[in-house]
Amino acid sequence: MDEVEKALYAHVQSRFPYVTEAASHLLDAGGKRFRPLLVLLAAEAGEHPESDEVVTAACVVEVTHVGSLYHDDVMDEAELRRGSPSANARWDNLVAILTGDFLFAKSSELTATLGADAVRIQAETFSRLVEGQILETVTPGPDEDALAHYLEVVAGKTGSLIATSARYGARFGGTSAEVEKALAAYGEIVGSAFQLSDDIIDIASDSEESGKTPGTDLREGVPTLPVIMAQRSTDPADARLLELLASDLTDDAAHAETLALLRAHPAMDEARAYVLERTTEAKALLDVLPAGPVRDALEAFADAVATRSS
């Protein structure tokens, strides 16, 4: 991870200091480096986990992810990211959007060094990521299942890149095709569970704990797992919460009241249970690996996702 961290900064350099500063802004803010860590862990299942291609692939997925954060913050009008001012708050939306584009270009340059097949995988992944972002702006129709729609959003905007992280690690670490396929499926589930646990944290935690402004999606009217589960309630006691969830929550008082009601609602525990179920499903896919430290680490990785939201 130390090697990846150093390489990340080298890969976001520009000829122009201003561009380098903007592109490094969210790297400087830190982050869990969840995706490159998964690349490295998955590579341990192969014959040559320390290959240069593994490190490059780890940088590809993180640079892609960080680029998407610049766009996310513009869409969410977020003021904080990882406890620091978002790029759009520090500069403006134009700089944030173009910096995200610059990072996507850098990730593409890096992917090209991994070969044509990696370029195809990256293109397919990015297509799914953007589809998920677009789908998030679409309200499900009256005959559509709101939860199923949202899970499609999550699978695209988050699960796809984390699936590719596991796939790249397996591929460039030298595993069999069977292991690569299983780890990609594992990554898709863990990735979706990661986003769903973020949904829970966004409501349950304050800004000091999460490094983000609490209830950002709620304020923007973006439904998330606990909200959708709460909206299924037929309990008359939830009438006020349901009324608020159907209203404009840009008002600070209404937003604060909604957050308080959601935090006390059974939907929060229901959402946590769902995340636990998904991580159990992901761990079952690891049966393709022999018992030992690699499998143990990947199981622990899935468990860490689930316990984040506990």
At residue 70, the pLDDT reads: 85
- For residues 75 and 217, give the distance between their C-alpha atoms in angstroms, rounded to a whole number: 10
Query: Could you tell me the CA-to-CA distances from 178 to 35, 114, 159, 204 in Å, in that order?
Result: 21, 21, 20, 39
- For residues 173 and 186, give the distance between their C-alpha atoms in angstroms, rounded to a whole number: 16
Q: Could you give the dihedral angle defined by the CA atoms of residues 201, 206, 207 and 212, in that order, rounded to the nearest 10 degrees?
A: 20
- For residues 131 and 123, give the distance between their C-alpha atoms in angstroms, rounded to a whole number: 12
**Token couple for 45:** 């299942």
Let me know: does 49 contact 43? Beta carbons within 8 Å: yes
Query: Burial, 222: exposed, middle or buried (Cβ in 10 Å; 0-12, 13-18, 19+)?
Result: middle
- For residues 181 and 188, give the distance between their C-alpha atoms in angstroms, rounded to a whole number: 11
At residue 54, the pLDDT reads: 97
For 81, the enclosing helix (H) or strand (E) is: strand 80-81
- For residues 108 and 112, give the distance between their C-alpha atoms in angstroms, rounded to a whole number: 6
**Token couple for 221:** 């009217």
At residue 80, the pLDDT reads: 66
- For residues 24 and 30, give the distance between their C-alpha atoms in angstroms, rounded to a whole number: 10
Instruction: Give SS3 for 22.
Output: helix
Q: What is the model's pTM?
A: 0.89
Domains and CATH numbers, the chain: 1-175 (1.10.600.10), 177-309 (1.10.600.10)
At residue 218, the pLDDT reads: 87
Instruction: Give SS3 for 85.
Output: strand
For the chain, the C-alpha Rg in angstroms (whole number) is: 20
- For residues 291 and 244, give the distance between their C-alpha atoms in angstroms, rounded to a whole number: 50
At residue 118, the pLDDT reads: 97
At residue 309, the pLDDT reads: 60
- For residues 259 and 149, give the distance between their C-alpha atoms in angstroms, rounded to a whole number: 23
Q: Left if phi > 0, otherwise alpha if psi is -120 to 50, otherwise beta: which for 135?
A: alpha
Average pLDDT per 10 consecutive residues for the chain, totaling 310 residues: 94 91 82 92 96 97 92 72 72 85 95 97 96 89 91 95 98 97 97 93 72 76 91 94 93 93 95 95 96 96 81
Query: Could you tell me the CA-to-CA distances from 17 to 13, 23, 99, 109, 190 in Å, in that order?
Result: 8, 10, 13, 20, 37
